[in-house]
């Protein structure tokens, strides 16, 4: 089954002095997704932004909002983030006491449901929720901070997940988040990822040029 490759710039690395301009630049350059990292200072050390920021961005943008909840007990907030304009909600398996219930809650709101796994979390925690997932996010760094280096062992994890999905016949995207740059983009695409989160690699430089360059690289790949 062929997969559509998608670039998801992470606004955590944007310049907040002109966030709206940065977002418009990457969308105009061809990015289909906007990756929005929500951090609570508990599940991860950092605190980022929440509902008011997402709601204000939604007023100006019609692109796909890929909301990544790096928060403890995210099931409490599903309704709120859907109301703010999320098109997809990703929760961490490690943050959910009842993962299946949270995934079902997301699906019931009519948005895409995804589960993220930290680097040390095994794939088998997905075994009993795979039927309900639209996407799996493999964290290729430990979550909480931008600008980290890709963990090489995650390449094997992506390969294993792609094999698992293929053998099941399911239609599930694989997203990677962490350390995607000029050196690692080919690695993760070769392994089978098809939705790439890029933060500092996109926003630290000429935004439009970076987006177009990564999109051109992604067009060269057809994942199965």
Is 199 among the annotated ligand-binding positions?
yes
134 catalytic? Reply is: no
Is 85 among the annotated ligand-binding positions?
no
* Cα angle, residue 127 at apex, residues 120 and 95 outer, rounded to 5°: 50
Is 75 among the annotated ligand-binding positions?
no
Is 147 among the annotated ligand-binding positions?
yes
CA distance 22 to 203: 8
CA distance 153 to 165: 19
Point out the catalytic residue in the list 40, 66, 173, 177. 177
CA distance 45 to 216: 35
Is 68 among the annotated ligand-binding positions?
yes
Is 144 among the annotated ligand-binding positions?
yes
Is 110 among the annotated ligand-binding positions?
no
Point out the catalytic residue in the list 22, 37, 40, 134. 37
Is 20 among the annotated ligand-binding positions?
no
CA distance 29 to 73: 35
Q: Strands of 64-70's sheet, edge to edge?
A: 6-9, 195-198, 173-177, 135-139, 112-117, 88-92, 64-70, 33-39
CA distance 45 to 63: 29
Is 173 among the annotated ligand-binding positions?
no
127 catalytic? Reply is: no
Residues of each annotated binding site: 10, 35, 37, 68, 144-147, 177-179, 199-200
Annotated binding site for substrate: 10, 68, 144-147, 177-179, 199-200
Binding site for a divalent metal cation: which residues? 35, 37, 68, 177
- Active site positions, annotated: 37, 177
């Amino acid at each position: 089954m062929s997969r559509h490759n998608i670039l998801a710039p992470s606004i955590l690395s944007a310049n907040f002095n002109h966030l709206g301009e940065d977002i418009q630049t990457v969308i105009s350059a061809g990015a289909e997704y906007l990756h929005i990292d929500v951090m609570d200072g508990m599940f991860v050390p950092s605190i980022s932004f929440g509902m008011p920021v997402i709601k204000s961005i939604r007023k100006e943008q019609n692109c796909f909002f890929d909301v990544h909840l790096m928060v403890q007990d995210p099931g409490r907030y599903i309704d709120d983030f859907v109301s703010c304009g999320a098109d997809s909600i990703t929760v961490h398996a490690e943050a959910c006491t009842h993962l299946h219930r949270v995934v079902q809650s997301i699906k019931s709101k009519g948005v895409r449901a995804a589960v993220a796994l930290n680097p040390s979390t095994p794939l088998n925690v997905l075994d009993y929720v795979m039927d309900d997932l639209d996407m799996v996010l493999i964290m290729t760094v430990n979550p909480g901070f931008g600008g980290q280096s890709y963990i090489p062992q995650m390449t094997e994890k992506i390969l294993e997940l792609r094999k698992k999905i293929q053998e099941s016949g399911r239609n599930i995207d694989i997203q990677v988040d962490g350390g995607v740059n000029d050196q690692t983009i080919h690695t993760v695409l070769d392994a089978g990822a098809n939705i790439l989160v890029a933060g500092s690699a996109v926003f630290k430089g000429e935004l439009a040029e970076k987006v177009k360059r990564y999109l051109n690289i992604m067009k060269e790949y057809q994942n199965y």
